[in-house]
Amino acid sequence: MGNTENMESDYRKFINSLDKIKIDSANKVFEISKILNDNDKTTVNTLMINDVGGYKVVGNLCTRENVAKSLNIKPNELMNHMIKAMENEPNGQLVLDEELEKQYVDDDVKKITDYPIPTYYGEDAGPYLTSGIVIVKDKDEGVNASIHRILVRPDGNLVIRMVEQRHLHYIYNKNIENMIKEGKDGVDVAIVIGVEPALLLAASTSGDVSFNELKYASAIMNKPIKTIKGKTVDLEIPEAEFIIEGKITNKNDDEGPFVDITGTYDVIRKQPVIKITALRTKKDPIFHALLPGGTEHKILMGLPQEPRMFKGIRNTVPSVKNVALTEGGCCWLHAVVSIDKKTQGDGKNAILAALAAHPSLKHVVIVDDDIDIYNPIDVEYAIATRVQSAKDVIIVDGAKGSSLDPSADHKMKLTSKMGIDATMDLIKGKKEFVRAVIPDIK
């Protein structure tokens, strides 16, 4: 391999730059998840486990602060940064790198069961890939990259949870019959594990079916994405610690039970089987374990939705300042929206616009721009001092909501939604609501 063997990837540079809790060793059945969970809310929560069956494992990687650090920006600048990158997505660059290809070693496909893939919770169907970016290609729509949970079966095959409304499901269904007719095993797929946070962020983003998540990742990082050619699939694969190539077949098997973002179990479904055709890793690869229902899971689900919500709200309330999907609301069901209130009805309009922009949203609080939307105490203060329930709370019953909400009516697929206008009453005047400030001492 020559000198390429010692080239340090940006993924590893980023990990090395973080303050971490270091663990000597752990078992991949429950112990990794126990360690991740116990440290999920600590000040320093990124973990490096040095030995899991001979592999290194990193976890709690993509906090809001860490993602911002990887991009050399502040956490409160993330949303505007992503909006600009979305606009620049067509200009993102993917570059084939032959030298990068020399950094990989081949593994026997059966070795997948030796990888440090955790079994997270007691009722899980088995070990699950949770941080893998799934890459497919369609001749009309182009490349699609997305994150899906993937069960590793004892026979070495995989079962992927393919959500019906997602683009992967669309591309798979569009192509699978023709692939089988042509004598192929299924739809070409690559799964990459161990990548920079921007790639995970981009793969978690919902866009048009033609939206290229890999180019978007390039725009987020403002640099080209290095790729290599697949060995057994017709795909360009971004640099990663672990690369799994395979075919998404027309065969189905049980997937689940498995824990979703709310920390509760999802149901068992028949889902497509992936036949592995090649495995490659970097030398001494670092696996990324993503705890289901943990903060990292929530951040990667919610953070990409915030720019979409911001743009939707801005169409109705141009003075919107910021949007946050809160961790207490699983970064999916609850949001706080900051506005510079210009007219008395802005708060109510922002509620309706927020619920429309993110259909899974259940509760939203609208606050003035003097409130820190990332501080739950500050948000609660706004609710306590600026809300009169009879006129400032909007309840919408019988709306379509999130399938992830265990309290919803899943038979009818309906839920109740609520918006709280916790902004200052302009009729009473802002003077009654402005908080006292201690002057600087001269």
pLDDT of residue 316: 97
**Residue 195 Cα distances to 22, 116, 137, 152, 282, angstroms:** 20, 16, 20, 20, 12
pLDDT, mean over the chain: 93
pLDDT of residue 226: 97
> Token pair 């893939």 is at which residue?
117
Q: Enumerate the domain spans of the chain.
A: 2-299, 304-431
pLDDT of 1 higher than 60: no
Name the nearest CA neighbour of 81 among 262, 186, 216. 216
pLDDT of residue 209: 85
pLDDT of 57 higher than 70: yes
pLDDT of 5 higher than 60: no
3-state SS of the chain is CHHHHHCCCHHHHHHHHCCCEEEEECCCECHHHHHHHHCCCCCCCCEEEEEECCEEEEECCCCHHHHHHHCCCCHHHHHHHHHHHHHCHHHCCEEECHHHHCCEEEECHHHHHHCCCCECCCCCCCCEECCCEEEEEECCCEEEEEECCEEECCCCCEEECCCCCCHHHHHHHHHHHHHHHCCCCCEEEEEEECCCHHHHHHHCCCCCCCCCHHHHHHHHHCCCEEEEECCCCCCEEECCCEEEEEEEEEEEEEECCEECCCCCEECCEEEEEEEEEEEEEECCCEEEECCCCCHHHHHHHHCCHHHHHHHHHHCCCCCEEEEEECCCCCCCCEEEEEECCCCCCHHHHHHHHHHHHCCCCCEEEEEECCCCCCCHHHHHHHHHHHCCHHHHEEEEEEECCCCCCCCCECCCCEEEEEEEEECCCCCCCHHHCCCCCCCCCC
Catalytic residues: 260
> Domain spanning 2-299: which superfamily?
Electron Transport, Fmn-binding Protein; Chain A (2.30.110.10)
Give tens-digit pLDDT for 248-257. 999 999 999 9
Band (408; pLDDT cuts 50, 70, 90): confident
Give tens-digit pLDDT for 347-357. 999 999 999 99
pLDDT of 410 higher than 50: yes
> Domain spanning 304-431: which superfamily?
UbiD C-terminal domain-like (3.40.1670.10)
Instruction: Flag whether the pTM goes above 0.85.
Output: yes
Name the nearest CA neighbour of 226 among 210, 216, 235, 237. 237
Residue 80 CB partners (closer than 8 Å, separation 6+): none
CB 72 within 8 A of CB 192: no
Based on the number of CB atoms within 10 Å of its own CB, is 152 exposed (0-12), middle (13-18) or buried (19 or more)? buried
Give tens-digit pLDDT for 75-92. 989 999 999 999 999 999
pLDDT of 7 higher than 80: no
pLDDT of residue 4: 45
Name the nearest CA neighbour of 83 among 234, 368, 369, 308. 308
